[in-house]
Amino acid sequence: MNVQLQLTRLLTDIEKQVFTERDKTTIQFIANNVNSLLDNTIYLKNEALNIHSFFLFNHSFFIVSTPKVIHGNKTLKKGIIFQLNAPPLKPTFKTVIYVKENLEFFFHYQQMVNQKVFYENFHDKYVTPQVFFFGPQDKIKIQKPLVTKKLITFVERVGKSINLQRKKIRAFHWQNKLELITKIVDLIKIMHANGFVHRDIKPHNIVTNLTSTYLIDGEFVTQVDKKSGQCGTIRYFDLANAISYDETASMASDIWSLAYTIFEIFTGNFNTNLFRLAQQKIHPFFPNRLNEIEPLTKKYCETIHHFHVNTISFKVEDKKNEPFFAGFTELVKQMFTLDKTNRPTIFEISDRIKQLQSNIK
């Protein structure tokens, strides 16, 4: 569909939305200048033109608006997003989300108000929101494009998290499970290709519906190699980081969390914590990170890890494709290695899966 036509459709419908005059002026400005805007990344607030700051990524505009909302002890700021390259007959995006405010410039970091509100507002409803998730922001200089500072991904249509669809996913044919895993890998590739790590990959943060899959919740997202503390969900947390107290954001740790997520999807086992015993041993050390983990505890954790990784074996559901199951099992084991330097990158994982898929009979 023609971009101008989509914007026109949005403009004819804005009276039904809770838009301020500046919101409307900004949308009109984009509509009038869309061709020249496609070559730019960011536009700052212009008082003379009465427009908001906004930026463009992959033909999707994100407008930072002025109204503020108090949610608990947090000050939130309204944002509007809409997609320019939506297919015909698909409603143009007109939904509002909220972002935490940064008084210095744009916003400090964004997430949905919280996961509970996210589900309450969007699950089991036919909506077409496109949520642009942002993580922690560095102070941004005006002359630098925002997109070079922080990128996550956006949700085009909300479904339910994998965690809420466990029974359905258990019943999937193994090739359908593989297709879902491939989509998740592609989302992580977008982030890693742009130098960012998610740090909380798990079934709860992967939303899927009949047609699409999305990676959500950018609360802990940060730039790769930035020392930004340890965070995430214990069950999916990189055991190597727990043992070493490594607080540096690394793509390798996303790979560990992805491996655990793949294990749960492919086996349908969402109830077993493979490394629970090791985590229980390490957990008492967490309150005082100045203390090194005891050598015997470290050795115990490494032994537990070695044992459970070696027991990983995906059930061969199709005898004629036995080589696929063997190769896929080996790939997941490599993703679980304690030596982060020996874990495959997300790009190597993607290539390996494609290679395995090409030999499926």
How sure is the predictor about 304, in pLDDT bands with cuts at 50, 70 and 90? confident
DSSP bridge partners of 248: 227
**At which residue do the structure tokens 């679980």 appear?**
336
DSSP bridge partners of 160: 208
pLDDT at residue 20 in the model: 64
The arithmetic mean of pLDDT across residues 284-291, rounded, is 51
**CB neighbour class for 310 (10 Å; exposed up to 12, middle 13-18, buried from 19):** exposed
Q: What is the pLDDT of residues 179-213, one digit of tens each?
A: 999 999 988 887 788 777 888 899 888 877 666 67
Q: Is the per-residue pLDDT at 350 higher than 70?
A: yes
Is the overall model pTM greater than 0.75, yes or no?
no
**At which residue do the structure tokens 């994998």 appear?**
162
> pLDDT higher for 109 or 252?
252
Q: What is the pLDDT of residues 135-173, one digit of tens each?
A: 332 333 322 333 322 222 233 334 577 887 888 899 999
The arithmetic mean of pLDDT across residues 41-61, rounded, is 56
pLDDT at residue 265 in the model: 94
The domain ranges of the chain are: 1-156, 159-361
What's phi and psi for 241, nearest 5 deg?
-70, -35
Q: What is the pLDDT of residues 83-96, one digit of tens each?
A: 444 333 232 232 33
The runs of H, that is alpha helices, within the chain are: 3-13, 21-32, 34-37, 115-122, 166-170, 174-193, 239-244, 251-267, 276-282, 295-311, 322-335, 346-358
**CB neighbour class for 163 (10 Å; exposed up to 12, middle 13-18, buried from 19):** middle
Fold that domain 159-361 belongs to in CATH: Transferase(Phosphotransferase); domain 1 (1.10.510)
Least confident of 120-129, 184-193, 287-296: 120-129
Q: Is the per-residue pLDDT at 125 higher than 90?
A: no
User: Tokens in use for 204?
Assistant: 């709860």
**Does the CA dihedral 320-322-323-324 come out positive or negative?**
positive
DSSP label of 215: E
Q: Is 4 helix (H, G, I), strand (E, B) or coil?
A: helix
Q: What is the pLDDT of residues 2-30, one digit of tens each?
A: 445 544 554 444 444 445 677 677 767 76
User: Tokens in use for 306?
Assistant: 């070695």
- Number of H-type helices and E-type strands within the chain: 12, 12
pLDDT at residue 19 in the model: 56
pLDDT at residue 351 in the model: 97
pLDDT at residue 342 in the model: 95
Region of 80 on the Ramachandran plot (φ > 0 left; ψ -120 to 50 alpha; else beta): beta
> pLDDT higher for 228 or 78?
228
Q: Is the per-residue pLDDT at 349 higher than 90?
A: yes
- Measured in whole angstroms, how far is the alpha carbon of residue 136 from the centre of its chain? 13
Q: Is 233 helix (H, G, I), strand (E, B) or coil?
A: coil
Residues 208 and 214 sit within 8 Å (Cβ to Cβ): yes
Q: Is the per-residue pLDDT at 54 higher than 70?
A: no
The arithmetic mean of pLDDT across residues 62-71, rounded, is 48
How sure is the predictor about 291, in pLDDT bands with cuts at 50, 70 and 90? low
Q: Is 237 helix (H, G, I), strand (E, B) or coil?
A: coil
Query: How many angstroms separate the CA atoms of 259 and 254, rounded?
Result: 9
Query: How many angstroms separate the CA atoms of 183 and 120, rounded?
Result: 25
Q: Which residues contact 164 (CB under 8 A, 6 or more apart)?
A: 123
Q: How high does pLDDT run on average in the chain?
A: 66
- Measured in whole angstroms, how far is the alpha carbon of residue 271 from the centre of its chain? 23
